[in-house]
């Protein structure tokens, strides 16, 4: 009897509760992907996030890598001579990069994060029913543009990289066996994405004012032109650039000083630009004014312009662009009446020069003048860049007259004469020089030097290495007292450059380790 | 033989001193089963006069009176009191003391007699835990229980050690489950909350057959804490007080002159000009002594009362503990109270109610050890007086030349205080339905509230680098509520020689927490009354808050069978449902069975020197649910971006976590074989267990290649870890006249390996370091010990150019073309003639060959002496501090003597590479076995000498002095070989990142009882 009682009690116990309800404890405050995708309006949020991936919202993910790229050119020094940072200097000076750097890894990582953001939209937007088809097309065009942008960043820096085109494939075991695609395969993907984007995206003028800053048909065409240029497909590059020119959507700013100007966001010259705002509560501002700023001016003093760059302006008699490109210690700041004698102490800032393009004039600074909170937009492609792409591509395609005319437009604005009789290599060199002066300190230089070739050899080799122009200048000809008085940064920058190695950066070592060697290192690293 | 001589000697002495008037008494002591017993104490009551028996059990001595009363005692046997009435020869029969075997052991959801135990359970008495004055009981647990490894993390007041039971088979959360008086606590609970004085004992459940009843929460073992309860009798009061001072070992640091020479050498070796003019140095700051004081106090007060009558027993206690850091900021206070009441309402109904409120208040100890070692000695602590104009009190500090933030300044602006209130209630009702069946229901409630206030003053030491342009205030409030509701039916029955005990239960557990956090900028006035949210007036206002909860629902069943106290069988089953898994994988079953054979109870067994011998074997399964509650979900986070002419902020969506919808429970299975024996009149006890423990479907956060764009690691069931080892416990007791001696030794031998890993996850990496080219310091590889150190193997240092040149391939190609004499020689593992990622390999094992503890207690009359030794043997330590202390990397300060100890042409046999800023060989830019050292150490954890004064009004009046961590024997060159970094045991164990070291403490204390 007792046994029976016990057994029935036990039975009761074991059947009494088996409630799924008791075990239902959903995550609070953070939506799941499934929940968000069920909401039709969410797609725009994913697309906007992909834009975020172009710059990311702090200095370390992407921005600082871009800055190091200018340090690795002849336009800049690493600059900060107080902080011993071998992880930065080793890239800027082309010595000892092999051991790897955080900046390379973060840059690589965040390009792929951006790609994954795009892939979610590309894969899922077709499944969203509750969306205006026209908007859906535009959003698809935007992420195609952005995915191409990210892959272009990767191929420019690392050569061939693994290609991921959907979100679902990330969830298959096979993802761990991916290898690097060839440079050609990556470019083929970029071109296709940009061609799709050209079809899907509206013109700049067709966007509402609330959408200013989104990718446009012109931006897709502009980048396509650049992508062709990087592959030396001159005719296609010139034709594509010409389409942008003919669209009349963009003009040069009348005044060069208006190009990088807090008061002129998304100006008429802008083809693709990241919008920033100073905000107390949200990280939606820029960083470059601080990270390139003088140590005496609340800055970090990385990437200081070289006297070698200044000399290029002076040799050209290019006063207008010089004053809007370089600030010099002890001199007033052009466009900032509040500063009559700028302080970039030579003992702490190599070369005592600062990038004027990213500089925030005193009257636009909010207190505290924080990192990551600056109001100046960051221009990634502008019309002058496009005109010079057109000029260069036209020249190599054999159309010297178009090349000269495009270059002349750029020079006219800054009141420089253009010798219309230039031809052959002299014209080529003039276009290259023009590109340098016009776009100086805008993070293009190192890539231009890499792709521009003389007799099949990258121009980086003419600038760096024991016989490089920049190295020889600094070791033998340089008389700049600011630079010579501060040898905290080695005057022989770039002497260890190796043409067989340094035209691409090393793949992040952790990527090789994590892929168990499926991803192979670039040659000679 | 030696014992015999000693016995004779002592007997002789006592006989000699006892000359005189009383009766000459002689006799013999024996037991029924073993015959005559040597070494038994015979004392005349009320005197110190007496003797011990010889080898044949005989004794003889002269008493002080004619009718003395003899006291016969020996450890492990019942004591006897025998009035002498003039017999010629007294034959004394003594019986083994059964209490140790009849001792009640708390097991999961019930109790059992020690002799019935078929699994592996270690017991540590509260008395042993209270010998050290520590905030966290686990610190004194170190070395006391076989199979239990306690790893100190260093850290300041309030830091908690890691406890590891029987190695590692699970990656996530290696901390055991803590159960207090039957109530399991939330995972991640450390023992900080416990007042050591409240502990009756700890039972540590080690094998699966013991822990399986706790199902998903028991994969790392279970610690059952039993608190003291009242007993029948008049009230007794006890109080204890201790006060100690703690001292930190001072690391060697280069002075200003040497520092400057090292930095100059780094430059000049690269062909660069020197940085410092040695003659111009006018500052030499001793940062260690500027930041750390020599002594910091620790104090502990305890008051306890207990008693009871027929129906009601009670115990009340209140305790206060305070520990201070060696910095001007940082302390920890804990006030605990406990009230345990047992009320026998009727013959059938027992109600128990425990209440345990606790208040803790602490100021976070700033972690400045790292920076103190690194900052250059050329920097003054404060700027000159004439430079202080216009600076506030937080801005008058010197700014270092090597970009290490001023640690003294960091201490000064540390405003970080926490206040915790916790209320624990444990109600149990037991009702005997029939003589054999009883029902019990237990409800454990935990209510917690924690407030954390932080203030960040405005200061500017160096614009843009070491400054806070705007003051800010931050206040966070956490609340938690959890309940555990256990319902059990117990059934006990005897049928002749058979007895059965069955338990069935239903358990519900729920834990919920939530928080609010507010942050505001710019306080009105810079003083301590303005460090609250309402005092801030700036534009930046931020508010955060969230809630989380998890539930567990379980059914359990257990059957125990005992045949004639000879054969024991045990089986258990538990079914768990957890809210942390996807619906389709929500439930799991766990079972165990085990058995024991008590050989000594057999009639055929007759080995005189073996008093007790038990063999046992068991199998058990447990689970692991220690993963983030959202691990199976893809989550979407949001950020902000600016678009449009009006600079509108748009909210963006992005995937913030990759989930794994196929995530399953991790199961841990083990087998355990054990021998328990008592030998030589119970003077020697031996406990040996062998175990093999294995996880199935290991939960692991795997790193995907970065090209996946995954924002987080992904939880996967990646394979299996196996932990094999031996737990050995030895106990010895000896009593000679006024002397008692007891020693307990524990030895742990364990090896944990990754025996199976999912395809594509054959290597699991951890501890990625940016300064080492983003490589990993730890790897877990298939077939290898888990969490090995990872990096390049070195073969010493190039002594000269000839050695550099000869380190080449057969074709004469240099393997290290950038190397110079004085650089590390890296081993080209794959023989491809160059050093690359392909040459990375495992370079050390953080797990010891064995660890051992030795606890010795000696008493003589009113004196007592305790020593606790602990040692770890054969492990490697990754001495990360060498990365900067022997290189000056990033111009940080170095260890004393480096200028001569590092390789230089006059010291070609150096074992430290040459000084260089560029470091083209990557000596200090790569992880290598240069940083790996032998971490073997032996430590005297505690030594205590006490004297109990004979005071009429007190039952106890004991004064003691003790020293903790006074002696450490090691060859390790870092500060303390006992290291465990953050990031979990696997990923963190054995890496010395330079933590707040363990203090040496000297204490005095007083125990009083009435």
Task: Say if strands B24-31 and B90-93 run parallel, antiparallel, or are unpaired.
Answer: parallel
Lowest mean pLDDT among A273-277, B61-65, B684-688, B852-856: B61-65
Give per-residue pLDDT as tens, B232-279. 788 899 999 999 999 988 899 999 999 999 999 998 998 888 889 999
Chosen for mutation from A15, A49, A157 (greatest number of chain B CBs closer than 10 Å) is: A49
Give per-residue pLDDT as tens, B70-96. 888 776 677 778 888 777 788 888 776
Contact B939, B872 (CB under 8 A): no
| A13 with B654: Cβ contact below 8 A | no
The Cα–Cα gap between B146 and B139 comes to 15
Chain B: residue nearest A116 by CA?
A: B709
Give per-residue pLDDT as tens, A134-143. 999 999 999 9
Q: Is B973 on the interface with A (CB under 8 A)?
A: no
Considering CB atoms only, which of A212, A298, A519 is closest to B705? A519
Taking CB atoms and an 8 Å cutoff, what residues of chain B touch A368?
Answer: 469-470
Lowest mean pLDDT among A61-75, A277-291, A296-310, B327-341: A277-291
**DSSP result, A200-238:** HPPPGGGS-GGGTTS--HHHHHHHHHHHHHHTT-HHHHH
What does each C-alpha distance from B831 to A81, A523, B740, B928 come to in angstroms? 40, 18, 64, 18
Q: How does residue A96 score in pLDDT terms, banded at 50, 70 and 90? A: confident
Taking CB atoms and an 8 Å cutoff, what residues of chain B touch A116?
Answer: 655, 708-710
Considering CB atoms only, which of B553, B643, B656 is closest to A17? B553
Instruction: Find the mean pLDDT for residues B731-755.
Output: 91
Task: Looking at A27-94, list the stretches that DSSP marks H as alpha helix, in order from N- to C-terminal side.
Answer: 33-37, 42-55, 64-71, 86-92
The Cα–Cα gap between B942 and B999 comes to 12
- Cα-Cα end-to-end distance for chain B: 44
The Cα–Cα gap between B875 and B898 comes to 26
List all residues 6 or more positions away from A518 whose beta carbon is below 8 Å from its beta carbon.
Answer: A176, A177, A178, A179
Name which residue leads in pLDDT, B812 or B569. Answer: B569
List all residues 6 or more positions away from B501 whose beta carbon is below 8 Å from its beta carbon.
Answer: B490, B491, B492, B493, B559, B560, B561, B562
Lowest mean pLDDT among A291-300, A357-366, B699-708: B699-708
- Calculate what percentage of chain B has a pLDDT beyond 70: 95
Q: How does residue A23 score in pLDDT terms, banded at 50, 70 and 90? A: confident
Give per-residue pLDDT as tens, A390-407. 999 999 999 999 999 999
What pLDDT does B5 receive? Answer: 40
What pLDDT does A195 receive? Answer: 98
Residue B903 confidence (pLDDT) above 70: yes
Instruction: Find the mean pLDDT for residues B58-69.
Output: 82
| B642 with A277: Cβ contact below 8 A | yes
| B653 with A42: Cβ contact below 8 A | yes
Taking CB atoms and an 8 Å cutoff, what residues of chain B touch A348?
Answer: none
| Predicted TM-score (pTM) of this structure | 0.83
Give per-residue pLDDT as tens, B918-956. 888 989 989 999 999 999 999 999 999 999 998 888 888
What pLDDT does B3 receive? Answer: 44
Give per-residue pLDDT as tens, B774-822. 888 999 898 999 899 999 999 999 999 999 999 998 888 899 988 999 9
Q: How many CB atoms lie within 10 A of CB A364?
A: 16
What pLDDT does B9 receive? Answer: 39
What pLDDT does A8 receive? Answer: 61
Task: Say if strands B58-62 and B466-468 run parallel, antiparallel, or are unpaired.
Answer: unpaired
Residue A414 confidence (pLDDT) above 90: yes
Q: Angle, nearest 10°, between helix axes A234-247 and A383-396?
A: 140
What pLDDT does B738 receive? Answer: 83
ipTM: 0.92
What pLDDT does B253 receive? Answer: 94
Taking CB atoms and an 8 Å cutoff, what residues of chain B touch A60?
Answer: none
What pLDDT does B584 receive? Answer: 83
Task: Say if strands B222-227 and B177-180 run parallel, antiparallel, or are unpaired.
Answer: parallel
Position of tokens 């979610």? A120
| Residues belonging to chain A | 525
The Cα–Cα gap between B155 and B976 comes to 12
Contact B129, B137 (CB under 8 A): yes
Give per-residue pLDDT as tens, A174-228. 888 999 999 999 999 999 999 999 999 999 999 999 999 999 999 999 999 999 9
The whole-angstrom distance between B447's CA and the closest CA on chain A is 19
What pLDDT does A173 receive? Answer: 82
Residue B20 confidence (pLDDT) above 50: no
What pLDDT does B807 receive? Answer: 92
Give per-residue pLDDT as tens, A324-377. 999 999 999 999 999 999 999 999 899 999 999 999 999 999 877 866 689 999
What pLDDT does B151 receive? Answer: 80
Contact B510, B483 (CB under 8 A): yes
Number of H helices, E strands in chain A: 21, 8
Residue B238 parent element (H or E): strand B233-247
Chain B: residue nearest A111 by CA?
A: B709
| A510 with B640: Cβ contact below 8 A | no
Give per-residue pLDDT as tens, B194-216. 898 999 999 999 999 999 999 98
Lowest mean pLDDT among B400-404, B442-446, B756-760: B756-760
What pLDDT does B4 receive? Answer: 41
Per the prediction, chain B carries an average pLDDT of: 88
Give per-residue pLDDT as tens, B961-991. 999 999 999 999 988 888 865 556 677 888 9
The whole-angstrom distance between B509's CA and the closest CA on chain A is 10
For B128, counting Cβ atoms within 10 Å of its Cβ (0-12 exposed, 13-18 middle, 19+ buried), the class is buried
What does each C-alpha distance from B72 to B18, B50, B69, B90, B135 come to in angstroms? 18, 10, 10, 12, 40
Chosen for mutation from A510, A519, A522 (greatest number of chain B CBs closer than 10 Å) is: A510
Residue B336's DSSP bridge partners are B319, B358
Taking CB atoms and an 8 Å cutoff, what residues of chain A touch B705?
Answer: 162, 175-176, 178, 511, 514-515, 519
Chosen for mutation from B465, B545, B653, B719 (greatest number of chain A CBs closer than 10 Å) is: B653
Q: Which of A428, A333, A438, A465 is nearest to A384 (CA)?
A: A438
DSSP state, residue B896: T
Residue B960's DSSP bridge partners are B946, B1005
Chosen for mutation from B460, B708, B839 (greatest number of chain A CBs closer than 10 Å) is: B708
Per the prediction, chain A carries an average pLDDT of: 92
Chain B stretch 912-931, residues whose beta carbon is closer than 8 A to a beta carbon of chain A: 917-920, 922, 925-926
Taking CB atoms and an 8 Å cutoff, what residues of chain A touch B837?
Answer: 509, 512-513, 517, 521
Q: Is B278 on the interface with A (CB under 8 A)?
A: no
């Amino acid at each position: 009897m007792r046994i029976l009682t016990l057994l029935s009690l036990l039975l009761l116990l074991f059947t009494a509760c088996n409630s799924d309800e008791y075990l239902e404890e959903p995550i609070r405050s953070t939506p799941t992907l499934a929940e968000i995708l069920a909401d039709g309006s969410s797609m725009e949020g994913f697309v906007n996030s992909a834009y975020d991936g172009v710059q990311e919202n702090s200095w370390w993910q992407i921005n600082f890598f871009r800055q190091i790229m200018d340090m690795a050119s002849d336009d800049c020094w690493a600059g900060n001579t107080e902080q011993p940072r071998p992880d930065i200097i080793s890239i800027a000076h082309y010595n000892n990069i092999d051991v790897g750097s955080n900046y390379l890894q973060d840059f690589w990582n965040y390009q792929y994060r951006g790609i994954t953001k795009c892939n979610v939209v590309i894969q899922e937007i077709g499944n969203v029913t509750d969306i205006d088809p026209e908007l859906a097309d535009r959003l698809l065009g935007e992420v195609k543009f952005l995915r191409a942008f990210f892959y272009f960043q990767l191929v420019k820096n690392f050569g061939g990289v693994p290609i991921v085109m959907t979100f679902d494939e990330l969830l298959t075991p096979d993802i761990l066996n991916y290898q690097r695609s060839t440079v050609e395969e990556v470019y083929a993907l970029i071109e296709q994405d940009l061609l799709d984007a050209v079809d899907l995206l509206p013109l700049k003028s067709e966007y509402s004012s609330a959408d200013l800053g989104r990718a446009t048909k012109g931006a897709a065409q502009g980048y396509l032109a650049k992508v062709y240029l990087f592959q030396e497909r001159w005719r296609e590059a010139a034709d594509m650039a010409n389409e942008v020119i003919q669209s009349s959507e963009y003009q040069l700013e009348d005044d060069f000083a208006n190009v990088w100007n807090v008061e002129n966001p998304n100006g008429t010259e802008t083809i693709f630009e990241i919008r920033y705002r100073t905000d107390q509560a949200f990280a939606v501002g820029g960083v470059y004014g601080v990270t390139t700023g003088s140590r005496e001016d609340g800055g970090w003093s990385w990437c200081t312009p070289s006297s070698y760059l200044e000399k290029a302006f002076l040799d050209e008699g290019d006063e207008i662009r010089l004053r809007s490109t370089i600030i010099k210690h002890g001199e007033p700041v052009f466009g900032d009446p509040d500063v009559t004698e700028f302080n970039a102490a030579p003992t702490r800032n190599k070369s005592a020069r600062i990038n004027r393009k990213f500089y925030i004039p005193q009257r636009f600074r909010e207190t505290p003048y924080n990192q990551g909170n600056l109001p100046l937009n960051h221009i990634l492609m502008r019309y002058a860049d496009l005109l010079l792409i057109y000029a260069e591509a036209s020249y190599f395609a054999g159309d010297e007259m178009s090349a000269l005319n495009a270059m002349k437009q750029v020079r006219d604005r800054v009141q420089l004469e253009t010798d219309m009789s230039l031809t052959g290599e002299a014209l080529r060199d003039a276009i290259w020089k023009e590109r340098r002066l016009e776009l100086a300190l805008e993070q293009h230089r190192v890539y231009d030097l890499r792709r521009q070739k003389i007799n099949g050899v990258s121009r980086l080799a003419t600038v760096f290495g024991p016989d490089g122009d920049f190295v020889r200048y600094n070791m033998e000809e340089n008389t700049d007292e600011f630079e010579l008085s501060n040898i905290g940064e080695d005057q022989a920058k770039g002497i260890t450059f190796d043409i067989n190695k340094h035209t691409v950066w090393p793949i992040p070592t952790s990527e090789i380790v994590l892929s168990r060697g499926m991803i192979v290192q670039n040659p000679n690293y | 033989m030696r014992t015999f001589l000693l016995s004779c000697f002592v007997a002789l002495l006592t006989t000699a001193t006892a000359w005189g008037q009383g009766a000459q008494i002689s006799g013999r002591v024996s037991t029924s089963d073993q015959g005559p017993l040597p070494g038994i104490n015979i004392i005349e009551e009320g005197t110190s006069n007496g003797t011990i028996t010889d080898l044949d059990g005989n004794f003889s001595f002269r008493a002080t009176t004619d009718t003395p009363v003899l006291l016969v005692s020996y450890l492990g046997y019942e004591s006897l009191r025998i009035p002498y009435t003039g017999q010629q020869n007294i034959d004394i029969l003594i019986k083994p003391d059964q209490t140790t075997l009849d001792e009640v052991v708390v097991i999961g959801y019930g109790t059992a007699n020690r002799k019935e135990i078929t699994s592996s359970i270690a017991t540590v008495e509260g008395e042993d835990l209270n010998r050290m004055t520590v905030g966290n009981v686990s610190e004194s647990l170190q070395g006391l229980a076989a199979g239990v490894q306690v790893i100190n993390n260093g850290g300041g007041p309030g830091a908690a050690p890691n406890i590891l039971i029987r190695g590692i088979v699970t990656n996530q959360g290696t901390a055991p489950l803590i159960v207090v008086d039957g109530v399991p606590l939330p995972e991640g609970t450390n023992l900080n909350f416990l007042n050591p004085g409240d502990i009756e004992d700890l039972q540590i459940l080690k094998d699966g057959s013991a822990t399986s009843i706790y199902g998903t929460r028991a994969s790392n073992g279970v610690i059952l804490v039993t608190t003291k309860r009242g007993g029948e009798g008049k009230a007794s009061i006890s109080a204890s007080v201790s006060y100690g001072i703690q001292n930190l070992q001072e690391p060697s640091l280069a002075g200003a002159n040497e520092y400057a020479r090292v930095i100059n050498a780094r430059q000049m070796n690269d062909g660069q000009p020197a940085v410092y003019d040695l003659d111009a140095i006018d500052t030499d700051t001793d940062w260690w002594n500027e930041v750390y004081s020599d002594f910091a106090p620790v104090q502990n007060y305890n008051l306890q009362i207990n008693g009871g009558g027929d129906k009601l027993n009670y115990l009340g206690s209140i305790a206060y503990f305070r520990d201070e850091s060696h910095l001007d900021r940082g302390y920890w206070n804990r006030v605990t109270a406990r009230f345990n009441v047992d009320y026998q309402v009727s013959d059938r109904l027992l109600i128990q109610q425990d209440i345990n409120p606790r208040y803790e208040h602490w100021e976070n100890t700033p972690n400045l050890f790292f920076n103190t070692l690194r900052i250059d000695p050329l920097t003054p602590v404060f700027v000159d007086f004439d430079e202080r104009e216009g600076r506030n009190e937080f801005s008058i500090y010197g700014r270092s030349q090597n970009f290490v933030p001023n640690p003294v300044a960091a201490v000064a602006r540390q405003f970080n205080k926490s206040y915790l209130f916790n209320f624990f209630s444990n109600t149990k009702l037991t009702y005997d339905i029939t003589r054999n069946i009883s029902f019990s229901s237990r409800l454990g409630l935990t209510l917690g509230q924690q407030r954390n206030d932080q203030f960040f003053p405005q200061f500017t030491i160096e614009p843009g680098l070491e400054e806070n342009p705007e003051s800010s205030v931050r206040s966070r409030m956490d609340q938690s509520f959890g309940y555990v509701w256990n319902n059990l039916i117990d059934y006990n029955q005897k049928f002749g020689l058979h007895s059965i005990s069955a338990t069935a239960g239903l358990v519900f557990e729920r834990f919920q927490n939530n928080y609010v956090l507010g942050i505001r900028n710019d306080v009105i006035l810079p003083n301590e009354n303005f460090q609250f949210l309402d005092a801030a007036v700036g534009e930046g206002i931020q508010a955060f808050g969230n809630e989380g909860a998890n539930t567990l629902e379980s059914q359990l069943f257990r059957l125990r069978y005992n045949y004639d106290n000879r054969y024991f069988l045990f089986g258990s089953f538990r079914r768990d449902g957890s809210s942390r898994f996807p619906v389709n994988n929500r439930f799991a079953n766990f079972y165990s069975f085990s058995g024991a054979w008590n050989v000594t109870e057999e009639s055929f067994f007759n080995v005189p020197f073996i008093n007790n011998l038990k063999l046992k074997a068991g199998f058990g399964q447990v689970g692991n649910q220690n993963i983030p509650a959202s691990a199976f979900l893809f989550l979407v986070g949001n950020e902000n971006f600016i678009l449009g002419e009006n600079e509108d902020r748009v909210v963006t969506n992005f995937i913030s976590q990759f989930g794994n919808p196929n995530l399953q429970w991790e199961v841990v299975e083990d087998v355990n074989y054990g021998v328990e024996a008592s030998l030589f009149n119970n003077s020697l006890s031996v406990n040996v267990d062998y175990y093999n423990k294995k996880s199935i479907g290991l939960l692991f956060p795997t790193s995907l290649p970065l090209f996946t764009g995954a924002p987080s690691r992904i939880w996967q069931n990646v394979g299996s870890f196996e932990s094999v080892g031996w737990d050995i416990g030895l106990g010895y007791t000896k009593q000679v006249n006024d002397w008692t001696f007891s020693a307990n030794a524990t030895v742990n031998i364990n090896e944990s390996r990754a025996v199976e890993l999912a395809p594509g996850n054959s290597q699991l990496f951890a501890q990625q370091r940016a300064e080492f080219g983003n490589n990993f310091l730890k790897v877990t590889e298939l077939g290898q010990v888990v969490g090995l150190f990872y990096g390049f193997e070195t073969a010493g240092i190039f002594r000269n150019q000839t050695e550099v040149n000869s380190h080449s391939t057969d074709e004469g190609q240099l393997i290290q073309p950038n190397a110079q004499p004085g650089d590390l020689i890296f081993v080209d593992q794959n023989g491809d003639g160059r050093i690359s990622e392909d040459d990375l390999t495992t370079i050390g094992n953080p797990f010891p060959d064995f660890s051992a503890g030795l606890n010795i207690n000696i008493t003589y009359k009113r004196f007592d002496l305790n020593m606790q030794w602990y040692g770890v043997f054969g492990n490697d330590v990754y001495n990360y501090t060498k990365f900067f202390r022997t290189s000056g990397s990033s111009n940080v300060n170095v260890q004393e003597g480096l200028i001569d100890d590092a390789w230089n042409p006059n010291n070609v046999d150096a074992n430290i590479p040459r000084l260089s800023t560029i470091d083209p060989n990557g000596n200090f830019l790569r992880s290598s076995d240069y940083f790996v050292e032998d971490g073997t150490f032996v430590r005297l954890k505690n030594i205590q000498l006490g004297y109990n004064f004979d005071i009429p009004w007190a039952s106890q009046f004991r004064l003691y002095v003790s020293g903790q961590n006074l002696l450490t024997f090691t060859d390790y060159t870092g500060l303390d070989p006992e290291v465990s970094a953050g990031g979990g045991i696997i990923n963190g164990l054995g890496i010395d990142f330079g933590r707040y070291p363990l203090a040496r403490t000297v204490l005095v204390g007083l125990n009083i009882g009435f």
